[in-house]
Structure 1
Amino acid sequence: MNRRKFLVYSAGALGAMSLPLSASVAFAKARGTYTYLTPFTLSLAFAPVLYASASGGFDKLDVNVKVEVGRGAGQAIQLVAAKQVEAGRTGGANYLSARAQDNSDVLAFGTVSQISPFVVISSQSHPVRDVKELAGKVVGVASFGGSMEATLNLMLAKAGVDPKSVRRERVADGPASFAMVEAGRIAAFFGNASTVSRLRAAELPLVALPVDDGVPGQVYVASEEDLESNREQHVAFLQGTRSAILAMADMDDAQLLEVIRTIARRFDVPGIEKEDIALGDLKGNRELWLAHGKENVLRNVPEQWDEATRLLQGAGLMKETSRQLYTNAIWESTVV
């Protein structure tokens, strides 16, 4: 295992513990490294960054990106605010709720999943085919206060379901949670394209209810101060990531398999060795990156952000604010 793989693997192990990332991040900053925090364990949902790193895309732009594994979408905002990482990935709904608070200096500088990556997973024996069916039920989420829970709250509010009537239970994102569904311990749980690929590969009798909440799915965030003082690195990070997505946009299956193998040589991504599953996973995530067309890859699309603000404020999940909610200044520097 090379040093980079060791660092990523170690970060994944730390993710299951309550240890801070301060020590490793302090070391990274001393070497001028750009530290990027994922919300959860590595998966092909993060392929734009992983491929840009593994293929040498970031090296060509003279930015040394180090991937750290986080413990929930909320932590990305917290560690960016604490200036322990340069950038993180988090959910659009929980980011907007946090940004509307006067004490948040964390700003979105790119949207990677233009639409929600989440699905509500239930069993064929007791399927959940409508959000209203969750009333009075128990729903599994990967973390409390993160993007999954924020999305759940918005879905319930839009459907006229009292969020307090739905109990949340913290669960793992995988087959173990589906076993809880089949055992009747939870009615459903939140997953993403990667989750569905793994469960279907295992031939489990699942029903996946897509989430269409009108909110930017997953965003890249950084502190406002760092976006100014460390602008060149942020531009290089976003440019490398954007180039990786555009490269994958028109690839056929054989080419995408080479992407998967390139990532696997550099990063320890659970299940990536099962190439048929990994291919479906990567293609499913690609749809999210390209949902608003190639011209809007990683762009914060103003119309969508306006609609998201209206929806969240209308549901009582975001306070009224006159604050800037995002910036496209970094993105614009990648397309000139």
Structure 2
Amino acid sequence: MKHDTSDLQSDLPAQLADVHKRYGAHHALAGVDLQLAPGRVLALLGPNGAGKSTAVSLLLGLQRADAGTVSLFGHDPASRQARQQAGVMLQQAELPETLTVAELLLLTRGYYAQPLSVAECARIAGLEDLLPRRYGQLSGGQQRRVQFALAICGRPRVLFLDEPTTGLDIQARQQLWQAIAERAAAGCAVLLTTHYLEEAEALADEVAVLQAGQVIARGSVEQIRARVSLRRIRIATQLSAACVRAWPGVRAVHAQPGKLEIHAETAEAIVARLLAQDPQASELQVQRAGLADAFLQLTRTTDTNEEYAA
């Protein structure tokens, strides 16, 4: 059964359909298609200049596409109907430094019909002890947590998170991961851009890789990883890195005292040769390529240019 375009757009929290955007001679986006689904996290990955910031800026209505369709819940992203359903945490944000955290939350809540309480926002973002503090007195990581609380305070149906954990320590990052996962579990559609590939691996239901303004790969984390045949072999051995590096199928070797980490196209032949040449070898581990390996291989061959500021 076919659906007309208007029905499809109104069913989706956010979408780009065959979108093009130029800055002078620079083609920032060249026919990009992206869709966000309720209750799912889409990680938008790509090297600097790939078009990630432009895609987010278009979905927020901060810029206009040169061609194609951009919509939030079937509306123009710049419209009031769309913006009242969206929460945003940008990579850079300027907030009044003299206001306290509680005052910022109270002010932002006023823009929404059914916002979360200040106490609930503080709990989710781990800000309970910071409510009386002035924003300008907070550390960079604490300010990022405040920005996340402001992004979720209106109970958004779609959440845009641009490098949300930059500047956070490990504990705060994991707390924010849990909060993002909870928003998605509650039905919120989430668009996540991040340079921390372990973050995408931990949170994303789907990954889209942008390169030079085009989507070059899309799928689940497992599907993206499966596109790369690379294997990681770790072993305690007396064989030298130089010796193993010369073997067929070996892509790279990293040496530590008494141990090697070998990156290879396939594992079986390399492992057999390791054990044959060093019968005393031990602590053997073989792992499939991670998302970071897949990302690097997918984006290695295409040149990228510096992306223009949104």
Provide TM-score, normalisation by structure 1: 0.23
Provide TM-score, normalisation by structure 2: 0.24
- Normalized per residue, the structure richer in strand is 2
- Normalized per residue, the structure richer in helix is 1
